[in-house]
């Protein structure tokens, strides 16, 4: 019995090593894009392959290896963001609103939203725009980026994400509010005003 | 004047509160009172009205960006040979 198990383990190890050759590059590109951290992305990809080996018997032939590996990787990325979210740097939570609004809560004159010409989702067809958007996302403080990424990575509704993160809904949307203000201003300054 | 401003802010919200509710309504349900206050605020404040448009566009852009990037077979911008070897070494130790 043990010998049979060992043989199976050897087989799965060989298969996963083949998958490393086939998919490690695109997995690294994805993890690097999501985290903007080379060393972290490498660790996440390595952890994903090790996790794949451990749970190889759960792999169902009907899904493609790539889909399965990417779902493991996405879970690893989400876990990373959850940790980031739980350890926000103190001053991150306090900064944000006072940069855009005066003490009465009104927009500062030079930070008021301007008209965006030709703004629609076709903008993403422009590689220069995508670069700016990604650049602006990665300028967000760690826990803000985590909140934004969790929302779009998981495609869950607000309540579910709050449950997962064990935070209150108001805490979650307040962080998203600050993130969105910063992201909007960054795009305006780096793309729409130019 | 200051008094009038604070009363207006209570009734119609400040821009800071209004933009917060604009984000909140994308993820959670607003109370009927907040809905009315936001509707009135966005009706008279051109900047927050614009912010709402931008915020919704940003949401659509991020969702789209997530999908297109995940499904595109974009190669890594750097050589991953060393990483592949590192992973294979760690698998062999298992």
List, in order of start, the domains of chain A with CATH numbers. 2-86 (1.10.1740.10), 90-192 (1.10.10.10)
Q: What is the pLDDT of residue B52?
A: 95
Q: Could A28 and B80 be called an inter-chain contact, meaning their C-beta atoms sit closer than 8 Å?
A: yes
What is the pLDDT at residue A92? Answer: 47
Residue A188 tokens, joined:
């305006």
Outline where A55-141 has alpha helix (H): 65-86, 90-94, 97-100, 127-138
Backbone region of residue A141 per phi and psi (left: phi > 0; alpha: psi in -120 to 50; beta: other values): beta
Q: Who's near B4: CB < 8 A, 6+ residues apart?
A: none
In the structure, what pLDDT confidence band is assigned to residue B83 with cuts at 50, 70 and 90? Answer: very high
* pLDDT tens digits, A149-177: 777 777 777 788 888 777 888 888 888 89
Cβ–Cβ of A133/B61 closer than 8 Å?
Answer: yes
Per-residue pLDDT, B75: 54
CB A129 within 8 A of CB B62: no
pLDDT digits (tens, 9 = 90+) for B27-70: 888 999 999 999 999 999 999 999 999 999 998 888 887 776 65
Q: B85 versus B73: which is more confidently predicted?
A: B85
A157-162 own/partner pairs: CB under 8 Å, 24+ apart: A157/B27, A158/B27, A158/B28, A159/B28
On the 0-12 / 13-18 / 19+ scale of CB atoms within 10 A, A97 is middle
ipTM over 0.85: no
Residue pair A117/A192 in contact by the 8 Å Cβ criterion:
yes
Are A177 and B19 an interchain contact pair (Cβ–Cβ within 8 Å)? Answer: yes
Query: Which pLDDT value is given to residue A90?
Result: 44
From the list A13, A106, A187, the residue facing B91 with the nearest CB is: A13
- According to the model, what pLDDT value does residue A94 have? 46
Over its C-alpha atoms, chain A yields an Rg (Å, rounded) of 21
Can you tell me the distance from the alpha carbon of A187 to that of A192, in angstroms, rounded to the nearest whole number?
Answer: 7
Query: By CA distance, what is A73's nearest residue in B?
Result: B70
Distance from CA of B33 to the nearest CA of A (A): 17
CB-CB contact of A32 with A41 (8 Å): yes
Ranges of chain A with pLDDT below 50: 1, 89-94
3-state secondary structure at position A20: helix
- Chain B residues with beta carbon closer than 8 angstroms to that of A42: 83, 86
Cβ partners under 8 Å of residue A2, min gap 6: none
Q: Long-range contacts for A166-169 (Cβ within 8 Å, ≥24 apart)?
A: A167/A85, A169/B27, A169/B28
When pLDDT is averaged across residues B14-25 and rounded to a whole number, the result is 94
Q: Please count the other Cβ atoms lying within 10 Å of the Cβ belonging to residue A36.
A: 15
CA–CA separation, A72 and A79 (whole Å): 11
pLDDT at position B4: 65
**Taking a contact as any Cβ pair under 8 Å apart, which residues of chain A between 38 and 67 contact chain B?**
38, 42, 45-46, 49-50, 53
Among residues A110, B1, B4, B30, the alpha carbon closest in space to that of B17 is found at B30
For chain A, how are helix, strand and coil distributed in percent, rounded to 5?
75, 0, 20
Residue A113: predicted pLDDT:
95
């Amino acid at each position: 019995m043990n010998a049979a198990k060992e043989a199976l383990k050897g087989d799965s190890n060989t298969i996963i090593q083949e998958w490393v050759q086939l998919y490690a590059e695109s997995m690294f590109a994805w993890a690097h894009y999501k985290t903007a951290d080379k060393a972290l992305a490498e660790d996440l990809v390595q952890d994903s392959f090790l996790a794949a080996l451990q749970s190889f018997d759960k792999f169902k032939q009907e899904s493609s290896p790539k889909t399965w590996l990417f779902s493991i990787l996405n879970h690893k990325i989400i876990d990373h963001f959850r940790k980031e979210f739980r350890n926000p740097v103190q001053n991150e939570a306090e900064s944000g609103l006072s940069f855009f609004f005066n003490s009465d809560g009104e927009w500062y004159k030079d930070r008021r939203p301007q008209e965006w010409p030709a703004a629609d989702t076709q903008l993403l067809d422009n590689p220069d725009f995508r670069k700016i958007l990604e650049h602006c996302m990665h300028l967000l403080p760690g826990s803000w980026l985590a909140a934004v990424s969790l929302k779009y990575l998981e495609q869950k509704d607000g309540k579910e994400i709050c449950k997962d993160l064990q935070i209150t809904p108001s805490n979650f949307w307040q962080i998203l509010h600050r993130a969105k203000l910063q992201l909007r201003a960054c795009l305006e300054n780096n793309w729409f005003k130019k | 004047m200051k008094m009038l401003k604070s009363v207006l802010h209570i009734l119609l919200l400040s821009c800071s509160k209004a933009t917060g509710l604009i984000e909140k309504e994308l993820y959670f349900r607003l109370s009927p009172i907040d809905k009315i206050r936001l509707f009135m605020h966005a009706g008279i404040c051109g900047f927050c009205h614009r912010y709402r448009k931008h915020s919704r566009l940003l949401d659509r852009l991020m969702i789209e960006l997530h999908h297109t990037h995940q499904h595109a077979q974009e190669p890594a911008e750097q050589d991953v040979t060393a990483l592949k070897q590192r992973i294979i070494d760690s698998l062999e130790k298992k």
